Every structure is written in C-alpha cells, then in structure tokens.
Amino acid sequence: MILKGFNELKQFLERPKNIVIVGHRNPDGDAMGSTLALKFYLEKKGHKAQVVVPNQYPEFLHWLPGSETTYRFDWQNTQVQKAIKKSDIIFLLDFNALHRVGQDMQNTLEDYKNDFAMIDHHQEPDEVTYMYSDTSISSTCQMVYHFIEMNNDLDLIDKNIATCLYTGIMTDTGSFRFRSTTSTTHRIIADLIDKGAENDRIHGNVYDSNSYNRLLLLGQALSNLHMLPQFKTAYITLTNEEMKKFDFQKGDTEGVVNYALSLKGIIFAAIFIEDAEQDIIKISFRSKGTFSVNTFARNYFDGGGHTNAAGGKSLLTMQETINKFTSLLPEHQQELIKSYEE
C-alpha cells in the first residue's frame, strides 16, 4: 500500500476547491462508480466536482446516480478543457498511468499545471503528488470507501454514494467471488446496504439489462471458444464482422472472457476482439491462482492490469495474434499447470 501526501491533501481540501475527477478510457463499473461516488462526497464537503471520462461507457451503467452530469472528453471537449482549466486539482481514479485515458486526453493531462491525486488498485502506478495505491484491494470503489473512512466521514455516505460504491465493488469482484473479495469487502458491502444501496436493484440494472443482440453476440463468442487443455488455457475470438452482425454496443463483450475461464480445468483465459475504430485487437486476459496475466500482458501485449485480470492489445491480424498467443504457451506450461490446485 502506498499512501503519499494524505495529510497535505486533507489540508488542501479544507477550503472549497474546484475539482475534476477522471476515470479511464472505456470506463467500467468501478471507474464510473468510484468517480461518481467521490464527486458526491466532495460536493458534500463543500467543493465543486466534475467527473470527466475519455469516451463512452456502457448502457448498463447509464442509470447510475449522477452519470448524466459527467463529461465525455471525446464529445464535450470544450466543456472539459474549461473544467480542467479552472480546476485546483485533478483526481485520477481506477487507473495507474496517464496513457490509460487515451492519447488525446493524455496530452491534455500532461499539460496540467496543478497537482494530481490518484486513488487506484492497479500495479506499478505512475508517480503523482498525492497517492493512495493498493493492489490488494478489490476495487477503486472499495478504496474510495476507505478514503472517506480515513477522513472520518463515513456518516456522509448517503444512498447515492452507497449505490455508486456498491456497483463498482460488485462489478470488479465478479459479484463478490474473486479472490480480491475479503471479509472487509463484505463488511463494507453490508454497510453500503445499510446506507441505502438497493442490492437487488443494482444487480438487476447491471446484469439483467441485456439486449437480444447482446445475447446473440454471446452465442457467437461461445461458438468461437477454443480449448488448449495441455496448457489449461481457453480463448475466444470476435471479429469486427461478427460484432457488426449483432449490432455491437459498448459493453456488450464485458464479462464474456469469464465463460472461457469457467471451463473445468482451465486457469488461463483470453478474449481477442477486433477493434475497427482503433485498428487493433483488444485483448482481455483472466487467470486463476498464481499465473500473472499482468506480467503476461505487459511482456507480450503492451498491456497490464492485475495478477488475475489484465488487458492488452495487438497490432497484428487476428490470425497472427492467435499464433503469437499460442506459440507463447509452451514456455509457460509449468507455471500454468502449477498455478491453481482444483
């Protein structure tokens, strides 16, 4: 755990400030939940706070309280530049390095003259002035809860804050089943329910809001599932053509990689998705046990993340990417076999 400049930050926030809160590109439940929860909290403390995300976030998060007030860097650039210009500090939530916001927004952030404060749970964070980094914690939302706790402000958590925090903890822990889920996580969840988070509605809003096409796309993904039992590995591919066929919308492929990981005996899973917009193959990696997909993604696919969940990209074609991936497996065979005792 790294806690840097916390007392100075506390002092700095003793007077009302203009604050911008930034989440990562392709925001997920944890990015949206943590930025919005922090915004509500800082507003309660007398500050002005504006959430900015680089681009679109999935439809299944649009119901989150406060989400209608967020700015998108790619759509509302003028408003974002204005908000950043008049801000006294920028909070960076749920990401560890400025490049995670995408090139255009990264340039804007690199020109920023005031300080950054980072709250994040990814490995190897960039150096910024104020930092709360802990890779052992389930989610940035859980860290925002601890941040509020460190400020002795748990009584300020209202229904909106509780709802946002519950959402991010739920999505980042795969509904409280990943190893990062601790008894502390459950105690926090219990407290958030006491403070107004309607757990059944939140689960319903996020997980039971599929479009017909999304389920058909899942069917397509599952029919593209490949298994390499000798490496305890399985992977899924989705081409641009397949995604177009089922009217792909942002967020439609979220969680699909977990189906590959759910196969009995499989401890390493990947999904390769053609991203026509960026002309890359976007990859998600998942593992069980000690095999670090963070290291794997960093070493071979220009990415990173956590030990058991990471992402990366490839500039090769789909077939070349798959060839590269499968040709890397033999040298990791022992690690893969030893990673996880069933």
Residues engaged in binding ligand 5GP (CB under 6 A): 122, 284, 303-306, 309-313
Q: Could you tell me the smallest distance in angstroms from the CB atom of residue 45 to ligand 5GP?
A: 28
Could you tell which of ligand 5GP, Mn ion, none binds residue 50, using a CB distance below 5 to 8 A set by kind? Answer: none
Q: Could you tell me the smallest distance in angstroms from the CB atom of residue 257 to ligand 5GP?
A: 7
Query: Which position's Cβ is nearest ligand 5GP?
Result: 311
User: Which two tokens mark 314?
Assistant: 């490839």
Candidate residues 9, 29, 30, 310; the one interacting with Mn ion per rule CB under 5 A: 30
User: Which two tokens mark 65?
Assistant: 């309280």
Compute how many residues bind Mn ion; rule: CB under 5 A.
4
Q: Could you tell me the smallest distance in angstroms from the CB atom of residue 320 to ligand 5GP?
A: 18
Alpha helices in 209-249 (DSSP H): 212-223, 240-245
CA distance 339 to 288: 7
Q: Could you tell me the smallest distance in angstroms from the CB atom of residue 173 to ligand 5GP?
A: 12
Could you tell which of Mn ion, ligand 5GP, none binds residue 66, using a CB distance below 5 to 8 A set by kind? Answer: none
Q: Could you tell me the smallest distance in angstroms from the CB atom of residue 306 to Mn ion?
A: 8
Q: Could you tell me the smallest distance in angstroms from the CB atom of residue 184 to ligand 5GP?
A: 20
Cα angle, residue 49 at apex, residues 44 and 52 outer, rounded to 5°: 140
**CA R_g for the chain:** 20
Q: Could you tell me the smallest distance in angstroms from the CB atom of residue 112 to ligand 5GP?
A: 21
277 CB neighbour count, 10 Å cutoff: 9
Q: Which is nearer to ligand 5GP, 39 or 313 (CB)?
A: 313
Q: Are 198 and 163 contacting, i.e. CB atoms less than 8 angstroms apart?
A: yes
Candidate residues 60, 71, 90, 94; the one interacting with Mn ion per rule CB under 5 A: 94
- Decide: is 252 part of the binding site for Mn ion (CB under 5 A): no
User: What CA–CA distances, in Å, run from 60 to 64, 120, 167?
Assistant: 9, 23, 11
Could you tell which of Mn ion, ligand 5GP, none binds residue 281, using a CB distance below 5 to 8 A set by kind? Answer: none
Could you tell which of Mn ion, ligand 5GP, none binds residue 306, using a CB distance below 5 to 8 A set by kind? Answer: ligand 5GP
Alpha helices in the chain (DSSP H): 6-12, 29-44, 77-85, 103-110, 140-150, 159-172, 183-194, 199-207, 212-223, 240-245, 257-261, 293-300, 318-328, 333-338
Of 16-24, 140-148, 197-205, 289-297, which part binds Mn ion (CB under 5 A)?
140-148
Considering only CA atoms, which of 313, 339, 326, 303 is closest in space to residue 123? 303
Q: Which distant-in-sequence residues (6+ apart) come within 8 Å of 7 by Cβ?
A: none
Q: Which is nearer to Mn ion, 88 or 126 (CB)?
A: 126
Q: Which is nearer to Mn ion, 122 or 232 (CB)?
A: 122
What's phi and psi for 115, nearest 5 deg? -90, 155
